[in-house]
Structure 1
Amino acid sequence: MARCNNINEGSSGRIGNVVTYQMYGKSYMRSLPGQYKDKKSERQLAQRQKMQLVNEFLAPYKDVLRITFQKEAIGRSAYMAAKSYNMLHAVGGEYPEQHIDYAKALVSAGAVSLSAEASVVRTEEGLLFRWTNDGQGSPFDTLFVIANVRGQYNTAYKQTEAERKDESYRWKWELSEREKYDIWLVFRDYKERSFSNSLWLGLV
């Protein structure tokens, strides 16, 4: 990858097998990869499968990652920070049967404490969250909730006014009766400086 200084500054596009693009206010050029003619080793195929799994998992969360992974995005995008973490920790199984381990995956990262116990259930009005205020973190930390229809680009998230000390929150929201949602619970520092790691509450 080569940085453009004056030529093509501010431009983007493709010339032959060279692509010019913008990132963080700078222009870059890179060549497109040639066709893969060599036979890949099983290790390389496993890594390629892992990358595909993580990309597909994170793609619906891109908007929320800009918020919840912002502190981790030092010298890189929030998406790349989330991708790096989940490549290392969130893929289970052995090639060719690798899969996303949702219990280990993160869609938020930070130093704010999580509750030791938390749950969510569907109700006629939406989702009811419960958690324990176990003395970890400030009682005034606020709840941040995320829901995604499994396998779809249909993600909703909300910074709530519920505080850790409240131990419950009802997210009034019309859920589809036909769909299943991955639900995540996050706490945000009461001074709004950082987030906790996300906690996957299951597929509901």
Structure 2
Amino acid sequence: MSILLVYQFIIYVNNITIEILDNGSNEGPTGRSGNRVTYMRLGKLVTRLIGLRIDKPTVPVLRSRQVTALITAFLKPVKEFLTIGFELEGKLTLQTYYTVASSYNRLNAISGSYPDQQIDFTKVLFSQGKMPLTRNILVNRVEKGLTFKWDASFTLKAGRVFLTVFMLGRLSGNYMNSSGHI
């Protein structure tokens, strides 16, 4: 007979959670201690320092911050779709789906130079992997919404269609997963 003992210790200092020990010390402590944060990420224990820049930011730093702000605002509304589109690629590269999507679009979908950077929507990618890109896509605006047309020979081979509509003016996105029902 074996018994699995599961317990959790939470260490508080001045009503602030400092460390959480799950299942004893086998998994290690998680939490914050000063400017050091320890947590589980992709099944591994990670410790990092929280830094605070006090010097005046350089142009490359400002450029990077602007790219981060643009990509984050753009990808946030379609995060659920990105889970489907980049999950496998993320597992293959031992990264999260969002890290893979963000990295690709940061490097490929930004045009212009600081401070006039913008997203080049022709280079944005919402999915990565072996599935080929849909060809001959036509979108028409009709009275009650949008109609989509694409190369049907592609659809028959893939078996699934994922449609993403991104409304730039509202920074919102919607997607539809056909799950093979076209």
TM-score after normalising by structure 2: 0.71
Aligned mates of 1:65, 1:109 — CA distance in 2: 9
Aligned mates of 1:152, 1:10 — CA distance in 2: 44
Aligned mates of 1:54, 1:8 — CA distance in 2: 38
| Greater RCO, 1 or 2 (C-alpha within 8 Å, sep 6+) | 1
Residue in 2 aligned with 1:72? 89
Q: 1:93 to 1:64 in 2, by over 3 A?
A: same
Aligned mates of 2:138, 2:35 — CA distance in 1: 51
Q: Does 1:128 align with 2:147?
A: yes
The partner residue of 1:42 within 34, 52, 59 is 59
Report if aligned partners of 1:8, 1:27 keep a CA contact under 8 Å in 2. Answer: no
Size of the aligned set, in residue pairs, is 156
- Superposed, which structure 2 residues align to 1:12-51 within 5 Å? 12-34=30-52, 36-51=53-68
- SS of the equivalent of 1:67 reads helix
Aligned mates of 1:125, 1:138 — CA distance in 2: 25
Residue in 2 aligned with 1:85? 104
Aligned mates of 1:151, 1:27 — CA distance in 2: 41
Cα RMSD (Å) of the superposition?
Answer: 2.8
Shift of 1:25: 3.2
Aligned mates of 1:100, 1:24 — CA distance in 2: 30
Q: 1:154 to 1:138 in 2, by over 3 A?
A: closer
The Cα offsets for residues 104-130 of structure 1, whole Å up to 9 and x where unpaired, read as: 111112333334421212334432101
| Larger of the two Rg values belongs to structure | 2
- SS of the equivalent of 1:51 reads helix
Gaps of 5+ in 1: 163-204
Shift of 1:18: 2.0
Moved over 4 A (4+): 151-154
Residue in 1 aligned with 2:177? 159
Q: 1:147 to 1:12 in 2, by over 3 A?
A: farther
Report if aligned partners of 1:119, 1:131 keep a CA contact under 8 Å in 2. Answer: yes
Opposite residue 17 of structure 1, the aligned amino acid is N
The partner residue of 2:132 within 113, 116, 122 is 113
